[in-house]
Amino acid sequence: MSFHHYWLRGLASGFALRYYGATMSSLEEIKAEREKKRDILIARGMDPYAAHSECDHTLGFVAENFEELSDNETELVVAGRVMSLRRHGGSAFADIYDGTGRTQIFFSKDDVGTNLFDLLNETIDPGDFIEIKGRAFLTKRGAEAIAAKSWKVLTKSLQSIPAEHFGLKDENERFRKRYLDILMNPELREVFEKKQKFWSVTRDFMIKNNFAEVETPTLELTTGGAEARPFVTHHNDFDIDVYLRISIGELWQKRLMAAGYPKTFEIGRVYRNEGTSQEHLQEFTNLEFYMAYADYRDGMKFTQELYRTIANEVFGTTEFTTRGHTFDLADEWVEIDYVDEIKKQAGINVLTASKTEMESKLQELGVKYEGDNKERLTDTLWKYCRKNISGPAFLVNHPVLVAPLAKKQPGKDVVEMFQPIIAGSEVGRGYSELNDPVEQMKRFKEQKALLEAGDDEAMMPDWEFVEMLEYGMPPTCGFGFGERLFAFLIDKPLREVQMFPLMRPKGE
């Protein structure tokens, strides 16, 4: 049996050989056969790895304008990857895909000539990239196709792609070979198209509201703006250790408020050297914005409008079901008091409880926790409670110790902070920014003590930021959210909505 017949038999049964338990020797045989076909192409004077294509029409354009192109007998040059190939005596059909659309190509020995037709039979497999010159026509069954007049190979593939119907099933294999996963799974491609629109709509919304897009450092001497374990690297020229940022330039954008910018925003990558879960990854995209002469109440109104705009323009609805929760962003967003909600669900007042009482309560609830300071224990108790809230809601009145950069409410031990809550999780964080240098110095010293006590997620002090506050920063509201919001709205794990999630090296 020829290699090509062997391939088609595997395709017909639903799997390409390498994805249904093929042995190493059979994989090597497949590659060896394809290498022979590559060599035949070279011997016949056809470059198997062309540098240029004469393609002048995308397949998407052909599909949209098929009737006109067919009626006018327009000569087309198209190109794409062969997704399937069927032979019938003196004719052959190939389905090709170029990223904009998919088209059937009809090859006839009479039209392309014996030499090119035989070369097609001898050398072309699913997975190869080819270029075709021809005209649009309807087949006898009324299917849209292009009748080839000539063809040439653009790239000869040496590995067989999986059968389209089944694709890649093993999760590690899917993430490791994301290029095949996206190729074989149109629904996954749609996820990334939606994600592109998600950030495009976000950016457009910010610009329409007169925010200036800025760029701030990704390498920092101190990691400000969030509480997370950072990645550390070394700056050879300065001979100092620096950190990959854990927030989108919070302390830098607030410096721009002092510089006279009224509104700024940035969309970019952040890095947190923490665990992996459906909601957490070590590298992801965030938005942060800052607006002067505004407080957290202004930020809540703006954020609500932003989220509803994203929902309508990206997903065409404000109603979602995700993680077992159903919510409608068009509904009224209720306010949930941080301390009262924990008291209601867990039966403990985190403002007055001792560390020992918090630990005892967590043990009683059967909740695992890390860290032994009140900030970590308070945060763990809240995380236990949040899973029961579908939203949409704003979490407000956070204790001071969980928000070292937020302004205190007058006469209270809580801050002017808000977090949108949907499907049992926070999908954003904002507050009236602390602009009192004396109070900020005090908060930084408290965080420094936590760091020195072994809490590697505590916030690093930035004394130069305090100096900036001494020059003066106007009242400011800041807010940020990450691609977790997108993952929740589309109801997929965060890892699934990243094109190339980090993987362990094979064998480790």
Q: What is the CATH number assigned to the segment(s) 3-169? A: 2.40.50.140
Residues whose CB is less than 8 angstroms from the CB of residue 475 and which lie 6 or more positions away in sequence, other chains included? 292, 293, 294, 295, 432, 433, 435
Residue extent(s) of CATH 2.40.50.140 domains in the chain:
3-169
pLDDT tens track for 311-327: 999 999 999 999 999 99
DSSP designation for 249? S
Q: Give the percent of the chain with pLDDT over 90.
A: 78
Sequence ranges of the chain with CATH classification 3.30.930.10: 185-333+391-497
- pLDDT tens readout for residues 238-264: 999 999 999 998 999 999 999 999 999
Kindly state the tokens that stand for 500. 């190339």
User: How confident is the model at residue 2, as a pLDDT?
Assistant: 36
Q: Which residues of 90-124 are buried (b: 16+ CB within 10 A; e: fewer)?
A: eebbbbbbbeebbbebbbebebbeeebbebbeebb
Task: List per-block mean pLDDT (blocks of 10 residues) for the chain, which spans 508 residues.
Answer: 35 37 71 96 97 97 97 97 93 96 96 96 96 96 96 96 68 89 93 98 98 96 82 95 92 96 97 82 94 98 98 98 96 97 96 93 91 86 94 96 90 95 96 95 90 83 93 97 96 94 82
DSSP letter at 407? P
pLDDT in tens, 458-471: 888 899 999 999 99
Angle at 32 between CA 29 and CA 38, to 5 degrees: 145
Rounded Cα distance, 427 and 113, in Å: 61
Tokens of 480: 């940020």
Element (H, E) at 80: strand 75-88
pTM over 0.85: yes
Tokens of 411: 């006469």
Q: What is the pLDDT of residues 110-135, one digit of tens each?
A: 999 999 999 999 999 999 999 999 99
The single-letter DSSP state of residue 456 is: T
CATH number of 185-333+391-497: 3.30.930.10
pLDDT (tens digit, 9 = 90+) per residue, 399-444?
Answer: 998 888 899 999 999 999 999 999 999 999 999 999 999 999 998 8
pLDDT computed for residue 507 by the predictor: 72
Determine the pLDDT at residue 276. 77
Q: For position 150, what pLDDT does the model report?
A: 97
- How many other CB atoms are there within 10 angstroms of residue 10's CB atom? 19
Evaluated on CA atoms 113, 116, 119, 125, the torsion sign reads negative
- The pLDDT of residue 489 is 97
